[in-house]
Structure 1
């Protein structure tokens, strides 16, 4: 699920978001210390398009937040936030590159417990000084912007957020113009790469996932059983739909499945009841299957993947899913991958957000009780993993990613602009359970031809 793109490094970034928190703004202190005759130090320009969210309405976020900035802003109810990360505290000088539509518009800007109401009269983009605010805690902070009055249909357009002052002198973080706004707004993806027993041919990989209450955020992919040629896990696709997803990449590398030669296409061998199967593209290409299933936060779900060499230089991969609500193993799908002769390898799990409109909300999953089964009929428990992350994290575009061990389970967490941070390439060890999965492999659902 991780698309490889080119990123550009920058040593510091900042995330900003405009927000409209009416109660917070009205209850905060008004900024009366700023004199318009004093010149602010505004040396850092943050593109609002890559760093802002409408936090109370994801549908509005899809309309207002564009690559070029904040546009089509009509409602006083919209809560727009811009998050930023500072390494120090102190004064924050703040300005906006902004314009109104037809005449004066009034906005309210809040940082911490200080608010300032500003009237915008220019109808072409100008740099407007907002004022001086206080950053009292290093790490992620946010700016809130609320529309109060407008003359035309739109409140205004915001191109950049301008900052400076002592709070920024030790470094700030944001998604710059030469970084992918799409991936910056999605947030960092994090992975667990499992340590396998040496010298064993592995035919089954078993894993369990529990998503804590309120961590099942739209756009989340809790991937359980990743392997060298594909992935298997569960997603939150919308308010009304969740899926169990199993995919296998074609050996022919392309983002367009229509270009795959016939002899390198993934072949569907069979699928379970209620499973949809087809092709996918855009992030590599191959065969994909999914079952719409309303899995619940707080419940533990079990994943079992089988992989073994087959005839004519190919390998068959089969995915099984166990839900406590149904109390039995279900077949998701079985795929044949040509030009591949291998047992299962490169086991991993990941947590990613595939919806940029929810990249401001944190999500977390626990990954527990990993086991593999070799060709001699022996189970081996996996208790060690390395924590890694994608380029959004590695290039410091987003700093809100974390992983580790809780009890006898691994966990991963990302997005939401929290301040705890785990060093990439950290190695973890969980306590072994010592309880072999109670699965009668001989009575698993049989693969029926499509």
Structure 2
């Protein structure tokens, strides 16, 4: 890599007139609060991304990465909005497009420090890594924004009220239409090797009222999770029964309801089977049940739980799968999953194969705060992908069709553990 040290200068505003060769350039302020992550840090590091940007930057081993998306090839002039606190001078390094740029910071007032002009050969995300070189005090500096001046349209998170969601990354879904009076819904799910990132939820069987899937909750903990929301009136969902070793409790945050989970060390590359049952109890309530089958579990179905949702009379409706990141600090990591062999069984015992899925996204995707999402069909299965700031996104709000297998699931519903 070629390294060059740029002369320090400050600008009140990064404008088109300051960028030679980019006379028609537009100026963008990419706030670190919504577009940056601490991607490398030693143990007990203090660096963090706050509402004001990068703060507590003390370690030269820490790397902070900023992403923005250029919609076409082109040139862009880059600069940083930064200030010093806890040092009189410092030198930091920005690495972008295969080159290193050293920038000297001084003074406690926020200034705009030039990095340099880059040339990007193709549309996609641009990553800017920041690392400390030296300092005469305790801190390398606080960085609030990356300035980009270019005549290429940019996409990045610019909705300050939703930076938390932007940093989590876009959630994507597969919507399935099932026959009337569908009592059981069956799905198979595979997480490819290397795609099992901490903070990921691979939801297999979702429906109006709840969802069921697998999670990576930490470096040493994985779960099979089944949750049912409380009734729309606020009436509480109650536990009817649960399987061995299953934990049950209430949940809050994004709604309230009953939660059940099994701590289970599921494996990337293995295919897991999910079955849910939704059945009215005849007294104005509905029972929701979930079973899980692991290939390493002896081929036996395990009951996760049955929950009773009051003031609800329904069979399966609003059936879907999704993929999401639920830890914002890990939202830069990519993940994917394959969802296949979907079947619905109605109250008369008829199985129907579901081969069409509607690909949709959450507000982060729809508003293009993040554009690292994809979905479709691969190797006969539906797939979902998000995070990682990859270039080739897939437009949401379209329907995909997988090839039919024609093989009814080998499930004896009368022999399922209750």
TM-score, scaled relative to structure 2:
0.93
Q: Tell me: CA distance 1:37–1:185, structure 2 relative to 1, closer, same or farther (3 Å).
A: closer
1:20-419 map, 5 Å: 28-31=1-4, 40-41=18-19, 43-57=27-41, 63-101=47-85, 102-164=87-149, 168-197=150-179, 200-252=180-232, 260=234, 264-327=235-298, 328-419=300-391
Q: Cα distance 1:120–1:364, how it changes in 2: closer, same or farther (>3 A)?
A: same
Distance 2:42 2:10 in 1: 39
Deviation at 1:62, TM superposition (A): 8.3
SS at 1:231 equivalent:
strand
Q: CA deviation at 1:32?
A: 6.8
Q: Given that residues 267 and 336 in structure 1 are in contact (C-alpha distance below 8 angstroms), is that contact kept between their aligned partners in structure 2?
A: yes
Distance 2:266 2:156 in 1: 35
Distance in 1 (alpha carbons) for counterparts of 2:109 and 2:159: 21
1:407–1:276 distance in 2 versus 1, CA, 3 Å: same
Q: CA–CA distance in 1 between the matches of 2:239 and 2:73?
A: 57
Distance 2:362 2:282 in 1: 36
> In 1, distance between residues paired with 2:231 and 2:30?
41
Distance 1:189 1:58 in 2: 30
- SS for the counterpart of 2:397 is coil
- Separation in 2, partners of 1:187, 1:57: 21
1:311-350 C-alpha deviation (Å, 9 max, x unpaired): 3200111111101111210010000111111111111000
Q: Give the conservation status (yes or no) of the 8 Å contact 2:170–2:324.
A: yes
Change (3 A) 1:232 1:58: farther
Give 1:33 deviation, angstroms: 8.6
Structure 2 counterpart of 1:10: none
| 1:276/1:291 contact within 8 Å kept | yes
Could you give the per-residue CA deviations for residues 9-68 of structure 1, whole angstroms, max 9, x where no partner exists? xxxxxxxxxxxxxxxxxxx11247989699734822111111111112498788411121
CA deviation vs aligned residue, 1:67-110 (integer Å, no higher than 9, x gap): 21100011111111111101233332111111122211011112
Q: Is the Cα contact below 8 Å between 1:187 and 1:415 reproduced in 2?
A: yes
CA RMSD after TM alignment: 2.0
What is the deviation of 1:133?
2.5
What number of residue pairs does the alignment pair up?
405
Unmatched runs of 5 consecutive residues or more in structure 2: 12-16, 20-25
On the 8 A contact 1:140/1:419 being kept in 2, the answer is: yes
Alignment-derived partner of residue 15 in structure 1: none
Normalised to the residue count of structure 1, the TM-score between the two structures is: 0.86
